């Protein structure tokens, strides 16, 4: 029987991501394993400028955000979607929250992956469920509770 894995295609356009690719791939692999998913995910490790353009184009919102998740439009078997991260925004948030950049980036990419799978945090019950999944996944890779 073939091993069920997650293929991660990373594209970095910010030097702040250099050397952190393996960490992010590991966080995604842990999320996929925890959710029983396999297939492929494309990840843009962007900067504020590139994420601001995507945020304006696809969400109609000005400025950057920490993560954007784009579930597949359909068609490609095994493709789970696209995730885009902004290095500067994540670095600023990590500093403000007193967290390591790596830990916050792992949290944000897991958060984005769960959005690809249909998790959301619009209402409190959904948010509680999503946050519980994030905590469990992050604990499995040694990252402290991001909501503590």
The reported pTM is 0.94
pLDDT of 103 over the 90 cut: yes
135 part of a folded domain: yes
**pLDDT score of 3 more than 60:** no
**127-133 mean pLDDT:** 96
> For position 76, what pLDDT does the model report?
78
Residue 128, token pair as written in the block: 């509680």
Output the average pLDDT for the chain: 94
| Range(s) of the domain holding residue 106 | 6-140
Residue 1 belongs to a domain: no
The C-alpha atoms of residue 12 and residue 133 are separated, in whole angstroms, by: 27
Query: In the structure, what pLDDT confidence band is assigned to residue 1 with cuts at 50, 70 and 90?
Result: very low
Burial 108-146 (b: 16+ CB within 10 A, else e): bbbbbbbbbbebebeeeeeeeebbebbbebbeeeebeeb
What is the 8-class DSSP label of residue 15? G
- In a domain, residue 15? The reply is yes
């Amino acid at each position: 029987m073939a091993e069920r894995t997650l293929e991660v295609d990373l594209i970095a356009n910010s030097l702040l991501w250099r050397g952190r690719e393996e960490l992010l791939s590991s966080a995604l692999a842990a999320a996929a394993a925890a959710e029983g998913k396999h297939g492929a995910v494309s990840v843009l490790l962007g900067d504020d400028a590139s994420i601001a353009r995507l945020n304006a184009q696809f969400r109609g919102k000005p400025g950057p955000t920490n993560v954007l998740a784009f579930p597949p439009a359909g068609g490609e078997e095994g493709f789970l979607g696209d995730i885009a991260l902004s290095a500067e925004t994540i670095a600023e948030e990590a500093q403000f929250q007193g967290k390591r950049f790596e830990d916050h980036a792992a949290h944000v990419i897991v958060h984005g992956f769960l959005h690809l799978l249909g998790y959301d945090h619009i209402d409190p019950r959904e948010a509680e469920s999503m946050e519980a999944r994030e905590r469990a996944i992050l604990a499995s890779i040694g990252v402290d509770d991001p909501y503590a």
